[in-house]
């Protein structure tokens, strides 16, 4: 089996790797590092969690160990789809380059331009950035990309999902044609394949078997849930979530709860905090300082529940996560593997629970097809409490509906039974054939026809007076009878 010492890495880099506790490279590292050290373009196809970050960080540090950066002209560039992933790549550079004098800058949104400009002006060897913020600096004239020797595109399929491909193409056009390109993606969509054919030159293709199964140390389960009514489904689903967390007890030391939409992330986090749970949201619309504080708190154990969108599903290495809960079934089955892969890492035990409502059953079937196994079904912990909650909500809602429609004047059932029968004359008038009505349209509409409608309502028929509601008091209807109104 290959060891890092056999990969021709810089001795100072090898020392940092050994101090980090690693001896044997992963398959993507063993396949990507040798051609990268030779200066060839590399196309790596591997899922998150396979160690591909070190697969490009280690050869980059070795290649950049000689030379010096110039002001505003970085020597290498790493593009990442999210701020969190960019920050994690920066941490890897700090870990493996501590014995090599290299400078780096992290260009991500939510951070002051001024501080980033200072670093760029001094000159950096490694520039780690998200595409949007990188182009912002370029447009402001603070950055030149003509000195880039090595360019890395990480999580290219995630870039495609987030709409960054036009930005990636533009950034490629701003870098020298002679650059070395390391391109990593979990899948090869046609758009990504077009980019690789355009911008990579005879790349070494390194493909690791697709990660279609989760770790055997992860216990999986799915709760099939159906709300009592559509307008109550969201609140009842949140109640089920709280019951699942409570049911795990002390075994749930910490958990990542994934939602498909950012709005749901905020709603679920607010609901959990309202009921006394230690929870905080993280998604792309939050300020970067808040996202950093939240993630740091979850990593150091001061935060128990992290409510996240898929921004936290890929590439983030949070150790010792005991539980992952999918509040929503992910729309892409591969995302299920990414999500639950946050637990059960490094041989630890983990548990993944998914809540599936009826409209998500098709997505759940796609997940089970991908992982080639049926996920065990779980019992609803609230099946005995759900009817009580529905009844309580129904009773609370009744008064508001009565207030909207006005007071009811209809007599109780026992009074209806005592109501005397209609007078014969009134009955004859109400049941008179239509041809006996006077021909004048106005009179027929305002008088006798409406009187006939009143008679039909008294016999239980469905015709109603337009504009006066379904519960018209009888004394008002009498005013439409011309014989009575004179």
- Per-residue pLDDT tens for 276-285? 999 999 987 8
In which band, very low, low, confident or very high, does the pLDDT at 71 lie, cut at 50, 70 and 90?
Answer: confident
For residues 453 and 463, the answer to whether their CB atoms sit within 8 Å is: yes
Determine the Cα–Cα distance for residues 477 and 308; give it in Å rounded to an integer: 60
CATH of 4-207, one of 1.10.3720.10, 3.40.50.2300, 2.20.25.10, 3.40.50.300: 3.40.50.300
Instruction: Please name the residues in contact with 428: beta carbons below 8 A apart, sequence gap of 6 or more.
Output: none
Which pLDDT value is given to residue 428?
A: 42
Which pLDDT value is given to residue 333?
A: 85
Packing angle, helices 52-64 and 83-96, rounded to 10 = 50
Asked if the model's pLDDT at residue 1 lies above 50, the reply is yes
Average pLDDT, the chain: 80
- Comparing C-alpha atoms, which of 47, 330, 348 is closest to residue 216? 348
Instruction: Please name the residues in contact with 29: beta carbons below 8 A apart, sequence gap of 6 or more.
Output: 51, 52, 54, 55, 58
Which pLDDT value is given to residue 398?
A: 41
Asked if the model's pLDDT at residue 216 lies above 50, the reply is yes
Highest mean pLDDT among 163-177, 308-322, 387-401: 163-177
Beta strand 279-282 with 305-308 is parallel
Asked if the model's pLDDT at residue 444 lies above 90, the reply is no
Instruction: Please name the residues in contact with 282: beta carbons below 8 A apart, sequence gap of 6 or more.
Output: 265, 291, 294, 295, 306, 307, 308, 309, 311, 312
pLDDT tens across 256-278, in order?
999 999 999 999 999 999 999 99
What angle is formed at CA 214 by the lines to CA 257 and CA 356, rounded to 5 degrees? Answer: 45
The CATH code of domain 218-392 reads 3.40.50.300
Which pLDDT value is given to residue 439?
A: 44
Q: What is the mean pLDDT of residues 23-36?
A: 92
Per-domain residue ranges for the chain?
4-207, 218-392, 411-485
Any idea which residue has 């200066």 for tokens? 39
Sheet of 204-207: strand order equals 104-107, 126-129, 76-79, 150-153, 180-185, 42-45, 204-207
Q: What is the mean pLDDT of residues 240-247?
A: 95
Q: Is 4-207's fold the same as 218-392's?
A: yes
Which residues are 377's β-sheet partners? Answer: 222
Lowest mean pLDDT among 6-15, 123-132, 383-392: 383-392
344 vs 325 pLDDT, higher one: 325
């Amino acid at each position: 089996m290959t060891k890092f010492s056999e990969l021709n890495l810089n001795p100072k880099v090898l020392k940092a790797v050994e101090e980090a506790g690693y001896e044997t490279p992963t398959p993507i590292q063993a396949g990507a590092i040798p051609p990268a050290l030779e200066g060839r373009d590399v196309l790596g196809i591997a899922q998150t969690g396979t160690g591909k970050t070190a697969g490009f960080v280690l050869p980059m540090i070795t290649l950049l160990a000689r030379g010096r950066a110039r002001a505003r002209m970085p020597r290498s560039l790493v593009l990442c789809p999210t701020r969190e992933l960019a920050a994690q790549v920066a941490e890897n550079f700090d870990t493996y380059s501590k014995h090599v004098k290299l400078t780096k800058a992290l260009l991500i949104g939510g951070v002051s331009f001024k501080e980033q400009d200072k670093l760029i002006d001094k000159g950096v060897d490694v520039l780690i950035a998200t595409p949007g913020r990188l182009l912002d600096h370029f447009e402001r004239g603070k950055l030149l990309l003509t000195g880039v020797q090595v360019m890395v595109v990480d999580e290219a399929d995630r870039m495609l999902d987030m709409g960054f491909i036009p930005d990636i193409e533009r950034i490629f056009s701003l870098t020298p044609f002679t650059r070395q390109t390391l391109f990593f993606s979990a899948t090869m969509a046609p758009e990504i394949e077009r980019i690789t054919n355009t911008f990579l030159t005879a790349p070494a293709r390194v493909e690791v078997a697709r990660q279609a199964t989760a770790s055997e140390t992860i216990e999986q389960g799915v709760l099939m849930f159906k709300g009592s009514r559509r307008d109550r489904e969201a609140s009842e689903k949140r109640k089920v979530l709280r019951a699942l967390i409570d049911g795990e007890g002390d075994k749930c030391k910490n958990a990542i709860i994934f939602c498909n939409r950012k709005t749901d992330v905020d709603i679920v986090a607010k609901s959990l905090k309202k009921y006394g749970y230690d929870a905080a949201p993280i998604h792309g619309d939050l300020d970067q300082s808040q996202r950093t504080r939240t993630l740091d708190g979850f990593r150091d154990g001061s935060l128990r529940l992290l409510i996240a969108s898929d921004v936290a599903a890929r590439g983030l290495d949070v150790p010792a996560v005991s539980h992952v809960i999918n509040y929503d079934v992910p729309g892409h089955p591969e995302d299920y593997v990414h999500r639950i892969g946050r637990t059960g890492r490094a041989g630890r035990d983990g548990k993944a629970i998914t809540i599936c409502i009826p409209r998500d059953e098709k997505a759940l079937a796609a997940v089970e097809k991908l992982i080639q196994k049926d996920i065990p079904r779980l019992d609803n912990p609230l099946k005995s409490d759900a009817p009580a909650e529905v009844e309580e909500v129904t009773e609370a809602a009744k008064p508001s509906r009565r207030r909207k429609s006005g007071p009811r004047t209809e007599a109780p059932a026992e009074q209806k039974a005592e109501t005397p029968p209609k007078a014969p004359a009134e009955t004859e008038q109400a049941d008179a054939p239509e041809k006996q009505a006077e021909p004048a349209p106005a009179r027929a509409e305002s008088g006798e026809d409406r009187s006939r409608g009143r008679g039909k309502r008294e016999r239980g028929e469905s015709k109603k007076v337009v504009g006066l509601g379904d519960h018209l008091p009888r004394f008002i209807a009498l005013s439409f009878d011309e014989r009575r109104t004179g």
